[in-house]
A and B are shown apart, each in its own frame.
Chain A
Amino acid sequence: MRTLWQSTLLRHLVIAVVAVLAIMFATGYVETFYDYQLAIIAAYLCAVAGLTVLTGQNGQVSLGQSAIMAVGAYTTALFQKMFSDHDVTTQWTLLYSLLAAVVVSGLAGLVIGLAAARLRGPYLAGLTLAIVLVVPAITTHWSSVFGADQGLPVPMNPPPAMLGDGFPNEQWQAYFAVLAAAVTMFLLANLVRSRVGRTFRAVRDNEVAAQLAGINVARTQVIAFVVSAACAGLGGGVVAAINGAVSPDSYSLTLSLYLLLAIVLGGVGSLAGAVWGSAAIVILPYLTAKLMTHMTLSPAAAVKLKDNVPLAVFGLALIVIAIAAPGGIQGLLRRIGLIPQPARPRPAITPAPTQPSPRMQPPSSTEPGAPGSTSDTATSSEAASAP
């Protein structure tokens, strides 16, 4: 048993399989509307998890995640349309469309990553911001392919026959969405714990030191972009499959900001935090809408408030959490002890005690600015005995 738990791959696999089975079982017992919500949360989870790895683990602030979701969504739409035009009706078409979405978005991520490899901070943010704003322009300019503002429909097959007659569509959507999210989380969790994940964090924490240690910084940045793009593409494809349609205004700057909010809410760099974040950005607008139906308002006031109250709440949440609780929900849970702190590996050799310098040290710039990330840096014990 102990060996099982110590192997990262097996541990993650067991957790993923158990979680998927448990959730699939639960979807049969709740209303179909909640199945739909769950499916949407799972779809966004793919994109949010990718973003939290890119921004939290690798330190690249990308405002363009929604554009890549759009790439995945439109690819899925086009492939599904192609399958339906050729009258292919097996259920595997969805899998192929989603795989295509992953590949195409990965390529898009490669292109963006190559362009952005030398950029840091606000320059990168600016580039990704410009990319988000290009999406509606591309769909309008090549409107014969992308359908301009009206978008494209996504032809979907009914749930597979082996699930039984009259199987609710929403439950089927929840199944494949949760499966997609589980695969994404599994792969990302292993990536984060692997050598590649460590190079991500090394580049984030101190680029010069990483270069000195032999890490190819540009290549690491590009790999991070490709990985997060593939996840975003899968998320976008699943959203398109669930909603049955894609249109450019669902993939605007606002969505990118929502994804950013999700990673900040959950805890930047934390995959478990991505779960909290995705749930929050889906559930909160729904809750505020429900709350407002209970309040009696004139129709004009209701329209004004309906879309804007969740925005205001999100904005405030972003500000408060970024300042007061940078670890997000995951960090809060760690602090109050509901989740154990990750065990710090003890160094094999205790170093000689270092004399603190009499000059005042400037604030350390190597301190990871993204709490909530599972960093593997060993803490050296200062009270070490001399060898």
Chain B
Amino acid sequence: MDRFIFLTVDGLSHGAIYAAFALALVLIWRGTRVVNFAQGAMAVAAGYIAFSVTRATGSYWLGAIAAVGAGLVLGVLVERGAMKWVGHTNPLTAIVVALGSALVIEAVLGMVYGVNNRPFPVPFSQTKFTVRGHPLFSPYDLFVFGVVAAVLIGIGLLFTRTPIGLRMRAAAFAPETARLLGVNTARVLTLGWALASAVGAIASLLILPTGFLNPTAMDLVFVSAFTAAVIGGLDSPAGAVVGGLGLGLVLSYASGYLGSDITSIAVLVLLVLVLLVRPNGVFSSTAVRRV
């Protein structure tokens, strides 16, 4: 029973992080119909910025703020520098350019920091509270849940209650009409990328303490988050959250009960099962096909 609770909490904790990351992917997909394959690299770059700032100043929170800022800047850089120039006739081009950007970012990180694992600063203790002798959450788990919940609520409010959110939704849903109504779609698109990248930076800040920091550290997280987004449906933010939490739980149980080398196989099996039944994800509405 202890093990089950431990695995469940661990699964939810990681799942919340995958949910946040998946939300970043869904944000960009809804805005531009492009999957940001560079998201992992951008997130780990923000993680390295946090690492450097924390090492220089000794404060975790300054590092965290710097990471979020770096995420915003990276989002703008990648969108303006590379993705903006991609035409829309061929979906392969967007994937290739995003992958190229990821390669460049990871190579630069490798050149600056080297490829060795670095320890990542942790703001709260990771030892679990015990209730009547059974370990439950740790302060760090609560921190993760709190941050992810805040991010989800913040993004939700931004999109539904603010004028800028309305403009972003308009630019994604009907770009020409939005332009006619005075929305600067290019700038809004860049803002969307910056936001998504900042969310990715927050996700990497949350997950890196549980692992190691090296240039390819977020690749597996990206794949898991991408899987979560695909399972939930790339169009659906709620799907991203449910997919992320579900995937976190499945991975946790699989690695806990079946062995840790099985986790990627478990992800693949889950992905195949979902895509065989619902090729557009669990929460997708009927896709309108461009004829």
State the A residues within 8 Å of B (CB): 55, 59, 61, 115, 118-119, 121-123, 125-127, 129-131, 133-134, 136-138, 140-141, 208, 253, 257, 260-261, 264, 268, 300, 303-305, 307-309, 311-312, 314-319, 322-323, 326, 363, 365, 367, 369-370
Contacts and interface: CB of A to CB of B under 8 A. Distances in A.
A126 B100 contact: no
A155 to B, nearest CB: 27
Contacts, number: 153
Interface stretch (B64-72, B88-96, B138-146, B182-190): B88-96
B290 interface: yes
Interface in B222-253: 223, 226-227, 230, 234
Given A138-B265, A319-B104, A119 B89 contact: no
Contact of B95 (A122, A312, A323): A122
B104 A118 contact: no
A140 B108 CA distance: 31
B263 interface: yes
B22 to A, nearest CB: 11
B106 interface: yes
13 contacts: A122-B91, A127-B271, A127-B272, A130-B227, A257-B99, A257-B103, A260-B96, A300-B114, A303-B114, A304-B113, A308-B111, A318-B103, A365-B89
B160 to A, nearest CB: 26
B contact residues, range: 35 or more
Interface of B: 29, 35, 37, 82, 85-87, 89-93, 95-97, 99-108, 110-115, 219-220, 223, 226-227, 230, 234, 259, 261-265, 267-268, 271-272, 275-276, 279-280, 289-291
Contacts of B234: 122-123
**Chain A interface mostly:** helix
A141 B95 contact: no
A54 to B, nearest CB: 11
B104 A125 contact: no
A316 B108 CA distance: 11
Contact of A61 (B92, B103, B105, B226): B92
Given A126-B227, A317-B100, A304 B111 contact: yes
- The 3 A-B residue pairs with the shortest CB-CB distance in the complex, in nearest-first order: A369-B90, A318-B100, A315-B103
A134 to B, nearest CB: 5
B291 A141 contact: no
Given A115-B275, A322-B97, A365-B290, A314 B103 contact: yes
A119 B267 CA distance: 17
A365 B290 CA distance: 9
